[in-house]
Structure 1
Amino acid sequence: MKLTLSALAAALALGAHARAADPTPRKPVDTSFLKRFAETRRFMLGRPQNPKVAPDGKTVLFLRADADKPALKLFEFDVATGQTKELLSPQALLGSGDENLTPEEKARRERMRLTAGGFADFHFDAAGNNILLPLSGRLFVYDRATRKVTELKTGAGGAVVDPKWSPDGKKVAYVRGFDVYVIDLATNTETAITTGGTVQKTHGLAEFVAQEEMGRFTGYWWSPDSKYIAYEEADHAGVETWFVADPFKPNAKPLEQFYPRPGKKNVAVRLGVVPVAGGETVWMEMHRYEYLARVDWGKAGLVYQLQSRNQKEWGLQRYDPDTGKTYGVCHDLGAPELPWQELVPLLPRSTEFNGNSVVLYGSDQCDRNTLPKLPGAGNHILNMTEHLPDGRFRHYTLTRFNQFLSLDSANKHAYIVDSADPTQAHVCRVGIDRDRTFEHLTSAPGQHTAVFSKNHAIGVFTSTTLTRMPTSTVRIADPSGAKLGELPSVAVEPDLKLNVTIAKLGDFWTAVVRPHDFDPKKKYPVILDVYGGPRHLHVVQAMRNWLVPQWLANQGFVVVAVDNRGTPGRGREWERAVYQKFGTVPLDDQVKGLRLLCEKHPELDGDRVGIVGWSFGGYMAANGVLRRPDVFKAAVAGAPVTDWEDYDTHYTERYMGLLPEAQKAYDEASLLPLAKGLTRPLLLVHGTADDNVYYRHSLKLSDALFRAGKNFDSLPLPGVTHMYTSDPVVTERLWGRAAVFFATHLGAPK
């Protein structure tokens, strides 16, 4: 009998599921919570976002969507009265027209992890009288006094990207068509500041790895006197071009992207300074460095941080356009045993202190035993270099910290995030004078951050705990923390009660999520919810992190999580232990943490363990069943990196080293040679439009598994990017599918 390909595929799938199926009848999975979770964008729609205190400190502006519509509007909170009013909606500016984003702006929002439409951002002018609003590739100015909106007359030839006020409030700069432009508000006329920009050689735009891996989303900077603009030129000549095609639309041209891979040509970047009134570009000295990591232009001049390709070395330079001189502020070769040095977001800062030019910068934590006793418990060191009138430099080491927030030069304070416990994050204030005072501004267990008024008298503190979703309160920005009001939310609250325990076991911070009807007399199949990669903490005291794990646990599992070596907040040796050992150290730690959990909690059935993760977590999940089938009985691997030679340079080379000398480490971390050993059920899930971890990764592993004669399941998500949560239906169906997959292969509580 002739068997069609579709019939053969169906027969094979039926046979595979029949062999692995749990004979115990199970009720259908209820995905109604997942539907609400997805449609409300993780219950974040309706919550205040991106709050900014007006320069006079009297009002706070913020973005907020309706509880059921992912379009951000602009609101104003009056600090004195506590009243909130809507200022503008996208519909008011666009009329009946829909928001129209270019592919470049969509990619930029993807890099920034933005899922809602409408206003992505807004900007006060220096006086706080006008608001700059980019929307759908156009620019609008909102006059707060008259409530009048004016659209700026930008030229044709590309959408407006990354608009910024000049410090004097008279002009607005932006990038259009790969060049930097300035529009004069008095005449509403546009002038090109740079020329000759092309898709291959861009001006004023941050390159891919700067956005995705360095957290730098801009490529140009105003001088404080509004006379100059510094801009990045990114030359992509020789960089590989990769294409993202939509299988649902074979008639549509694939999107092109320059994608630098390990051992391949990187983007050539340089920094230039050009007068706004016209003139030639002065190019900054890049020395031997390959990356332009950070830039700030403040009272101490233009300060820029450069980084070597192997990321073991960085240099900090200061440029004075009035004299044309460049000063080397500092450089750090790193300790010989240090495989890489982390960049610190939002630093360096250029300012004045005691009448002298000062640069505030962050560095990696050195050996605690070699440092003087410092306040704080974080992984980074806050440093200050003061340029004295006689030409000498004076250096200060101020504090340990995890994240920099803001600088109050007038009152000699820096605001940071710090915590001795990596599951928490607290806002602190540290003196940047010689006394180094250190004060906590938050204390409730959880995750906290803040933004501040210009004079740092008040702040908007956004906090979340294990029992509460994020809330934003306006408070006095000192240890008293007097509450002045709360930014109102209209969000739907999760109708799911968490049963989460966070504790440290041995060396590892762990989480245990039990079902709502937990019976301590039963043995439960276990699902290890994993990320495991550097720069990301999974086990944190934040309610929103545990909503889906709680739903999954309620389907008849105990869900657990472990933060392995390589995750931040635990010191230099802990973080660097994964260097050139992606395939082994994180997985070994997950197994150790899992065994500690099983020993402590007898309800965990260590013989029935599944593993699930996305991105690096997807790599960990697939690695788990391939490398440790004795521990993991089934895996759902979402958007996994399967071959580290196919990921981007800045991330991969930091942790894996440079090719060709590090070839052995890349080979050992690859999943492809392990494919022939698959003995456990594996579900590969991947969006076909993913331009972060390309669909190529799952295809390469699928091909290796198929050629090795292995049975596995594959779920392509057509047109879906790395941020699958942007599509509510995909989110609901994906987790429903995962629950059924684990129920089939792990069984029910016994």
Structure 2
Amino acid sequence: MTKETSFPRQYSRTLRYTLGAPRSFTVSPDGARVAFLRSRSGTDRANLLWVLDTATGRERAAADPAELLGGGGEDLSPAERARRERTREGSAGIVGYAVDADAALAAFALSGRLFTAPLAHGAGEAGGGGAREILVTGPVLDPRPSPDGRHIAYATTRGDLRVVTSDGETDRALAEPDADGVTWGQAEFVAQEEMDRGRGFWWAPEGGRLLAARVDDTPVQRWWIADPAHPAAAPAEVAYPAAGTPNAEVSLAVLGLDGSRTDVTWDRARYPYLARVHWSAGGPPLLLVQARDQRSQLVLALDPDTGATRTLHVDEDPVWLDLFPGVPAWTPDGRLVRIADEGGARVLAVGDRVLTGAALHVRAVLDVGPDDVLVTASAGEGAADPELGEVHVLRVGPAGAVRVSGRPGHHSAVRSGDVTVLSSAALDRPGSRVRVLRGAEPVAEIASYAETPVIGTGVRLVAAGKRRIPCAVLLPDGYDRDRDGLLPVLMDPYGGPHGQRVVAARNAHLTSQWFADQGFAVVVADGRGTPGHSPAWEKAIAFDMAGVTLDDQVEAVQALAEEFPLDLGRVAIRGWSYGGYLAALAVLRRPDVFHAAVAGAPVTDWRLYDTHYTERYLGHPDERPEVYDAHALAADAAELSRPLMLVHGLADDNVVAAHTLRFSSALLEAGRPHTVLPLSGVTHMTPQEQVAENLLLLQVDFLRRSLGL
């Protein structure tokens, strides 16, 4: 097998080197154990649930799906497949679990069946680990133990929310749909896809009641996703809230194990989006609700006895308000924890104090302790050292911020008490290293079985142009400028909201390096709109995503040509999703700069994309139709003068195939030649091994031919 073909095969077979890597960590409050998921090898998709004893460093399997399912394959419901698509979950086995307050009992679903596993020291033996099935009325979605471990609540594919005792003796409904299209305990499409809220119910700290979402998606328009390769199969019905159309109606109720129900009230007409829910012993339940235009939001405190809410905090922004992981939350002594954009910086606020300044760009709250808050942050615009692409874990308290992650790289963490699980990636090594710290001292390391990539990277992170655009530049392995001269260029961006690509982690750049090794100088540019820089940087794209993001790709490549061996007469661009939109946009509107493009799953008409994302950046289409018209690619179809390949999964329910099909029709009507590669049975992800492998090879072949290489 040649080096050129071995990387695509390994990359696809290992799900981008994620298989075999530990993930989804939970630390017990006493610090005695860490639960996590990991498959047995770098090519095995089935995750097991593991437990690490922090005193000895010994790992044991608490639950093995192969044993629990008797060696049979998984049988996933359409609802579970949709949940996994929303989270871009491509692995198998145990893909998620939840624990009680002591992290002594775990609950999880396999093939719609409910299982539990004891996690405490001495429970079970290696292999099955004491895991067992609890027979319930399924199929089961998102099971979660009560804090005291006596009950397990779960949603079902039929729409009811149920609770079963941990011994399996009593299984009953807490809430059932009262109409077609109603579900209890599940998150609606835009919450899962755009708000990073995958949950639909939350246990009270005392374990006697739950806060549950009731979702009515009957107002949402129906789309139909068919599989043209199998015409005998009925199309799948999808409730898709496209920009400007009705959303699902979301409400809340407090459900008691005694059968009581208390409906929650807030101004749902003004604030229809339920973005965050937090219920801890630090105070009453917290709700974060947003206006549809996302320029105002409220943090509400809920009285669970009456269902009444009161406003704790109001946020307003003339552009939009972002959502952040881990907030709002309470400190143990009852102070409100927030992340906010203030004074041009993204800061951490606790109570009435702002604890960080312009030197840090706070990204997420990981844990709230009695003395500090654990966060991830990048260097802010006020930092003396920009630390390009780095994300660090810090403890922030009244006295300031102290780094938990020491080395340069891209870090994340999970903490409980004085035990922290720190995951660290860096440019000088593949994969991530996972260390368990007690205080500041390492006590264990969690093994990774992920495969080592067959290629390395020589990536350089640089800031380009007047705007200092973060860029990654990759040249072919063994490149010699005197011998090889200028190189054809491949721009390889995502380039839009939520998609930072220029990161200080080697595995993030492996595909770009492989393209470089085919004879390209590859440039990844994180222009305005991408995260991790500053609020102003992210919000510069308001109502002009197309113009701003494309301008920054042009500025980056032209500025980098002054330092790197870039042949500006041969520049191609490739991308997926927003990157696919950007790639098609580039050859349509700047053919003087870009000479070929591969556009994967592109959003070609923003009226066909979802409400929460699209209206945040472009406004409501009824109020700003000219903005949507300016961002539609079909209007520029007659301008195509460069080779363009469109790639789209026909089963995609996020960026539906209609985007590519309608744009292709417009190109055909304009008489503009182009290439379309439809992927039968493929969603917005491409987890299928052969598809992912051959997509890389086909793209290289198209780009080489298009640039005359």
What range is the shorter-chain TM-score in? Answer: over 0.9
Q: Residue 516 of structure 1 contacts residue 554 of structure 1 at CA under 8 Å; is this kept in 2?
A: yes
Q: Deviations over 1:427-460 (max 9, x none)?
A: 00011xxx3421011121210000113x1x1211
> Could you say what secondary structure the match of 1:114 adopts?
coil
Aligned match for 1:360, one of 337, 341, 351: 337
Aligned match for 2:519, one of 548, 551, 556: 556
Question: Is 1:312 the equivalent of 2:295?
Answer: yes
Q: Residue 262 of structure 2 contacts residue 306 of structure 2 at CA under 8 Å; is this kept in 1?
A: no
How do residues 116-135 of structure 1 correspond to structure 2 at under 5 angstroms?
116-135=91-110
- The amino acid across from 2:303 in the alignment is D
Q: Deviations over 1:231-276 (max 9, x none)?
A: 1111112211111111222111111111111111121111221222
Question: Is 1:396 the equivalent of 2:357?
Answer: no
> Could you say what secondary structure the match of 1:343 adopts?
coil
TM-superposed CA distance for 1:33, in Å, is 1.3
> Could you say what secondary structure the match of 2:4 adopts?
coil
Mean CA deviation greater in 256-265 or 70-79: 70-79
> Could you say what secondary structure the match of 2:162 adopts?
strand
Aligned match for 2:143, one of 163, 166, 175: 163
Q: Residue 276 of structure 2 contacts residue 289 of structure 2 at CA under 8 Å; is this kept in 1?
A: yes
Aligned match for 1:426, one of 388, 392, 413: 392
User: In structure 2, what is the equivalent of residue 292 of structure 1?
Assistant: 274
Q: Deviations over 1:662-687 (max 9, x none)?
A: 11111111101000110000000000
> Computing the radius of gyration over CA atoms, which structure comes out larger, 1 or 2?
1
User: In structure 1, what is the equivalent of residue 175 of structure 2?
Assistant: 194
Residues 693, 323 of structure 1: CA spacing in aligned structure 2 closer, same or farther, 3 A cutoff?
Answer: closer
Counterpart Cα distance in 2 of 1:425 and 1:444: 11
User: In structure 1, what is the equivalent of residue 135 of structure 2?
Assistant: 153
Counterpart Cα distance in 1 of 2:307 and 2:185: 21
> Could you say what secondary structure the match of 1:738 adopts?
helix
TM-superposed CA distance for 1:180, in Å, is 0.9
- The amino acid across from 1:404 in the alignment is A
User: In structure 2, what is the equivalent of residue 139 of structure 1?
Assistant: 114
Counterpart Cα distance in 2 of 1:333 and 1:126: 35
User: In structure 1, what is the equivalent of residue 320 of structure 2?
Assistant: 340
Residues 621, 196 of structure 1: CA spacing in aligned structure 2 closer, same or farther, 3 A cutoff?
Answer: same
Q: Residue 497 of structure 2 contacts residue 529 of structure 2 at CA under 8 Å; is this kept in 1?
A: yes
Which segments of 5 or more consecutive residues in structure 1 lack a partner in the other structure? Answer: 1-26, 369-378, 386-394
User: In structure 2, what is the equivalent of residue 747 of structure 1?
Assistant: 708
User: In structure 2, what is the equivalent of residue 536 of structure 1?
Assistant: 499
> Could you say what secondary structure the match of 2:279 adopts?
strand
How do residues 519-530 of structure 1 correspond to structure 2 at under 5 angstroms?
519-521=480-482, 522-530=485-493
Q: Deviations over 1:22-45 (max 9, x none)?
A: xxxxx9993221101111111221
Counterpart Cα distance in 2 of 1:271 and 1:124: 23
User: In structure 2, what is the equivalent of residue 730 of structure 1?
Assistant: 691
TM-superposed CA distance for 1:405, in Å, is 3.5
Residues 61, 274 of structure 1: CA spacing in aligned structure 2 closer, same or farther, 3 A cutoff?
Answer: closer
Residues 425, 322 of structure 1: CA spacing in aligned structure 2 closer, same or farther, 3 A cutoff?
Answer: same
How do residues 57-206 of structure 1 correspond to structure 2 at under 5 angstroms?
57-65=31-39, 66-144=41-119, 145-146=123-124, 147-155=129-137, 158-176=138-156, 177-186=158-167, 188-196=169-177, 200-206=181-187
Q: Residue 54 of structure 1 contacts residue 124 of structure 1 at CA under 8 Å; is this kept in 2?
A: no
Q: Deviations over 1:486-505 (max 9, x none)?
A: 11122220121212111112
User: In structure 1, what is the equivalent of residue 201 of structure 2?
Assistant: 220
Counterpart Cα distance in 2 of 1:304 and 1:225: 19
Counterpart Cα distance in 1 of 2:308 and 2:643: 63
User: In structure 2, what is the equivalent of residue 15 of structure 1?
Assistant: none
TM-superposed CA distance for 1:590, in Å, is 0.6
Q: Residue 525 of structure 1 contacts residue 747 of structure 1 at CA under 8 Å; is this kept in 2?
A: no
Q: Residue 286 of structure 1 contacts residue 306 of structure 1 at CA under 8 Å; is this kept in 2?
A: no
TM-superposed CA distance for 1:91, in Å, is 0.8
Counterpart Cα distance in 2 of 1:476 and 1:514: 38
Question: Is 1:31 the equivalent of 2:5?
Answer: yes
Q: Deviations over 1:541-571 (max 9, x none)?
A: 1111111111111111111111111112222
Counterpart Cα distance in 1 of 2:218 and 2:581: 31
User: In structure 1, what is the equivalent of residue 348 of structure 2?
Assistant: 382
User: In structure 2, what is the equivalent of residue 413 of structure 1?
Assistant: 372
Counterpart Cα distance in 2 of 1:29 and 1:697: 35
Q: Residue 405 of structure 1 contacts residue 451 of structure 1 at CA under 8 Å; is this kept in 2?
A: no
- The amino acid across from 2:322 in the alignment is E
Aligned match for 1:464, one of 405, 410, 425: 425
Q: Deviations over 1:295-324 (max 9, x none)?
A: 111121111011000000001110122465
- The amino acid across from 1:114 in the alignment is E
User: In structure 1, what is the equivalent of residue 669 of structure 2?
Assistant: 707
TM-superposed CA distance for 1:68, in Å, is 2.0
Counterpart Cα distance in 1 of 2:445 and 2:179: 46
Mean CA deviation greater in 563-572 or 215-224: 563-572
User: In structure 1, what is the equivalent of residue 243 of structure 2?
Assistant: 262
- The amino acid across from 1:727 in the alignment is Q
- The amino acid across from 1:450 in the alignment is A
Residues 697, 62 of structure 1: CA spacing in aligned structure 2 closer, same or farther, 3 A cutoff?
Answer: same
- The amino acid across from 1:501 in the alignment is R
- The amino acid across from 1:399 in the alignment is T
Counterpart Cα distance in 2 of 1:223 and 1:584: 47
Counterpart Cα distance in 1 of 2:48 and 2:639: 52
- The amino acid across from 1:396 in the alignment is R
TM-superposed CA distance for 1:422, in Å, is 5.1
Mean CA deviation greater in 468-477 or 500-509: 468-477
Counterpart Cα distance in 2 of 1:380 and 1:546: 27
TM-superposed CA distance for 1:476, in Å, is 2.8
TM-superposed CA distance for 1:131, in Å, is 2.3
Counterpart Cα distance in 2 of 1:415 and 1:28: 46
> Could you say what secondary structure the match of 1:539 adopts?
coil
Q: Residue 295 of structure 1 contacts residue 302 of structure 1 at CA under 8 Å; is this kept in 2?
A: yes
User: In structure 1, what is the equivalent of residue 261 of structure 2?
Assistant: 280
- The amino acid across from 1:305 in the alignment is L
> Could you say what secondary structure the match of 1:700 adopts?
helix
> Could you say what secondary structure the match of 1:30 adopts?
helix
Residues 44, 324 of structure 1: CA spacing in aligned structure 2 closer, same or farther, 3 A cutoff?
Answer: closer
Mean CA deviation greater in 617-626 or 536-545: 536-545
Question: Is 1:496 the equivalent of 2:473?
Answer: no
Residues 403, 541 of structure 1: CA spacing in aligned structure 2 closer, same or farther, 3 A cutoff?
Answer: same
> Could you say what secondary structure the match of 2:45 adopts?
strand
Counterpart Cα distance in 2 of 1:214 and 1:650: 8
Q: Deviations over 1:630-678 (max 9, x none)?
A: 1110000000000000000000000001121211111111101000110
Q: Residue 6 of structure 2 contacts residue 454 of structure 2 at CA under 8 Å; is this kept in 1?
A: no
Counterpart Cα distance in 1 of 2:271 and 2:235: 33
Q: TM-score, normalised by structure 2?
A: 0.93
Q: TM-score, normalised by structure 1?
A: 0.88
Counterpart Cα distance in 2 of 1:128 and 1:722: 34
Residues 408, 534 of structure 1: CA spacing in aligned structure 2 closer, same or farther, 3 A cutoff?
Answer: closer
- The amino acid across from 2:492 in the alignment is D
Residues 422, 308 of structure 1: CA spacing in aligned structure 2 closer, same or farther, 3 A cutoff?
Answer: farther
Q: Residue 262 of structure 1 contacts residue 652 of structure 1 at CA under 8 Å; is this kept in 2?
A: yes
